[in-house]
Amino acid sequence: MSATSEPARRGAARPHATSTDRLVFLHGFTQTHHHWHHCAGLIAARRPHPPSLAFVDLPGHGLSSDDRTGITGLARPLVELGGPGTYIGYSMGGRCGLTAATANSGIVQRLVLIGATPGIEDDAERAHRRHLDVQRADRVEQIGVAAFLDEWLAAPLFAHLAADRQGLEHRLRNTATGLAHSLRSCGTGNQGSLWQHLDRITIPVLVIAGELDAKFSQIGQRMVEMLPNATFALIADAGHAAHAERPDATADVIADWLAATDDHVSPQRARH
């Protein structure tokens, strides 16, 4: 993602209000920034003062469909775009947030991760996942976005995600070439493992997983053990996309954690 890219700049919405509380939302694969709007509104409503909200379209998605930045070059332009604040990322967006936080720039002041992973530690397993990501990239280019989404959303990972007509419409606005780029350059297989760098992330971190998402619940609990200042929260009756499946419960957890960690954020540094 380029900080000078016009699509990327449009991908981050202008703040809704002037506040020392800035929340930057990062979406998952095949989504756009629109998929965060509902839960973000619920979180904002639970804050004592109206926060400033920013929504980013990550490379290959939405208004950043033509952006060809890869995961390895993402950290600096992402924080330049999002500005100082709390970064809240789901799945791929969580991996992007982690990547930015490990840069120790001071701009990511708090971090919320939902259904996210620091990557794959084993080299052979990561190479296998990279091969699968390339196959998926070839697939979306061959069959188009609509057919690919039918296959993608039918995966067991999204078994608990209710049908969302409006959300699907936004997913369909993505391009095959953009999604293919994301898979090849920002997929889990292409990201180096961040597990060995977690101890460098000293900011407050909230790790969320859905109760029904066993894989990412285990990953999340392990991350919390390795992060110096982290909290783990399980969302009942939710799968991988907890913020979409149980938005009120997820907003409650995030808002309570924000309130508990507000003293860790300097008001002066949070202005943007």
Angle at 209 between CA 17 and CA 98, to 5 degrees: 60
What is the per-residue pLDDT for 181?
Answer: 97
Least confident of 7-21, 27-41, 133-147: 7-21
* Amino acid in position 42: L
% of the chain at pLDDT higher than 90 = 86
Note the maximum CA span of the chain: 51
What is this structure's pTM? Answer: 0.91
Whole-angstrom CA distances from 154 to 161, 206, 223 are 10, 28, 28
pLDDT at 231 over 90: yes
DSSP 31: -
Please state the three-class secondary structure of 180-195 as a single string: HHHHHHHCHHHCCCCH
* Residue 23 in this model has a pLDDT that exceeds 50: yes
Distance, CA of 19 to CA of 53 (rounded, Å): 10
Those residues whose C-beta lies under 8 Å from the C-beta of residue 214, and which sit 6 or more positions away, are: none
Residues in the chain, how many?
272
pLDDT tens-place string over residues 64-111: 999 999 998 999 999 999 999 999 999 999 999 999 999 877 899 999
249 touches 41 (CB < 8 A): no
Q: Which domains does the chain have, with CATH numbers?
A: 6-270 (3.40.50.1820)
Please spell the DSSP secondary structure of 40-88, one letter per residue.
Answer: HHHHHHTSSSPPEEEEE--TTSGGGTT----GGG-HHHHHHHH-SEEEE
Stretch 182-189: mean pLDDT, rounded?
96
